[in-house]
Amino acid sequence: MMEVIKRDGTRETVRMEKILDAVNRACRGLPNVEPIEIAKRTIAGLHNNSTTEELDQLSISNAVMLMADEPNYSKVASRMLAEGIMKQVGRDHVFSDYVEHAFENGLLSEHVLKLVRENSEAIDFAIRHERDDLFEYFGLKTVSDRYLLRHPKTRKIIERPQWLFMRVALGLSHNVEEAVEFYSIISQFLYMPSTPTLFNSGTLHPQMSSCYLLTVGEDSLDGIYKSITDCARLSKFSGGIGIDWTPVRASGSLIKGTNGLSNGIVPFLKVFDSSVHAVNQGGKRKGAAAVYLEPWHADIEAFLDLRNNTGSEDRRAHNLNLALWIPDLFMKRLEQDGEWSLFSPAESPELLNCFGPEWEARYEAAEKAGKAYKKVLARQLYARMMQTLAETGNG
């Protein structure tokens, strides 16, 4: 007879009826689902000395495989996953116990602890675990993998889905009445906060903004690396980045401190690309950064090549999203089939920090002054932009 190893380390003989009972609970009230089919597949996939966690996961996987034929199996899999989370956390625990435990392990803020200690009965009473049934499988799977808090050492989940919502509500509220009301809204999916809010509300690092917009503040080594560091710190706590690199001098510009010539923005964007890859968002998802450039910058063509799948990897940045700020004057030149001049911000700083008619006047004055590094046909550059957009989805 096959045996399974229970969570407490003891062994138990595998019984078909026990597996079927668990699947039946997950199938309650759902039409067009066959509990016996999931149970049979689960038994067939077991091996001797499997753990009960492996058994539960096998049942979930079998339900997921049946989703293509019957969508209601998504709800079956979701219910079994919710049951597994409850077993891992502890069936008899309540929200206030979880808050004490999480605070002791450095996961929650004193604000949340204080609200819970002063209002534990009201908060525990407000929790509605039956609302887990609103999840479809892939939604709950995402919550389980990314959003539920884990023990800092064992990495086991210590938070149930409804506790996540109450933790978020408490972190955003001044009093228990606000928290319970907001919990009711988000736990019924009437409104859902942003990802950083779900990650961080109620924790010791309550960074809850989704996106940050920056400009490289100074065209110098210190300024460039400060901007990269600032972006890394924002990404650490789940912030997405949009950053303008137009102020950085173009390739071939003079570096007065060394009397050498700059290699332009690409080598620094390569460093930034590595930073975005290395510093993920709270250890839960990849970092995200969009790099903006105005199309009068002399490195525009090298910029458009950054996401290409061919060419030297030293000139590629596959983790960055690319975007262009297109001035009206460029579109006018495009319509006229005219030329477009490219400049370095080091020699033409007057083109930074202005827009509209003032910018157009400065741009045309820079052209007349002979400051352009290069002239290209506007339509050729536009075609290059469209090619990049079609091939990589960027630009």
Separation between Cα atoms, residue 300 and residue 216, nearest integer Å = 17
Provide the β-strand partners of residue 290: 242, 321
Looking at this protein, which amino acid is placed at residue 231? C
Compute φ and ψ for 183, nearest 5 degrees. Answer: -55, -45
Q: Hunting for tokens 């038994």 — which residue is that? A: 43
Q: Where are the domains of the chain?
A: 3-88, 93-200, 211-392
Beta-strand pair 289-293/50-51: unpaired
pLDDT in tens, the chain (395 residues): 788 888 878 888 888 888 999 999 999 999 999 999 999 999 888 888 888 899 999 999 999 999 999 999 999 999 999 999 999 998 889 999 999 999 999 999 999 999 999 999 999 999 999 999 999 999 999 999 999 999 999 999 999 999 999 999 999 999 999 999 999 999 999 999 999 999 999 999 998 999 999 999 899 999 999 999 999 999 988 889 999 999 999 998 888 888 889 999 999 999 999 999 998 766 667 788 999 999 999 999 999 999 988 878 888 999 999 999 999 999 999 999 999 999 999 999 999 999 999 999 999 999 999 999 999 999 999 999 999 999 888 76
- 375: helix, strand or coil: strand
Residue 49: per-residue pLDDT: 85
Provide the β-strand partners of residue 341: 375
Rg (CA), the chain: 28
Residue 111: per-residue pLDDT: 97
Whole-Å CA distances, 168 to 78, 128, 173, 183:
22, 15, 9, 8
> Measuring CA to CA, which residue among 196, 105, 117, 209 is closest to residue 159?
105
CB within 8 Å of 394: residues ≥ 6 apart = 306, 307, 321, 322, 323, 388
Q: Hunting for tokens 């930034």 — which residue is that? A: 272
Provide the β-strand partners of residue 278: none
Q: Structure pTM?
A: 0.82
CA dihedral 366, 372, 378, 384 (to 10 degrees): -140
Q: Where are the beta strands (DSSP E) in the chain?
A: 3-5, 11-13, 50-51, 211-215, 240-244, 254-255, 260-261, 289-293, 320-324, 339-342, 374-377
Under 8 Å between Cβ of 151 and 158 = yes
Compute φ and ψ for 19, nearest 5 degrees. Answer: -65, -45
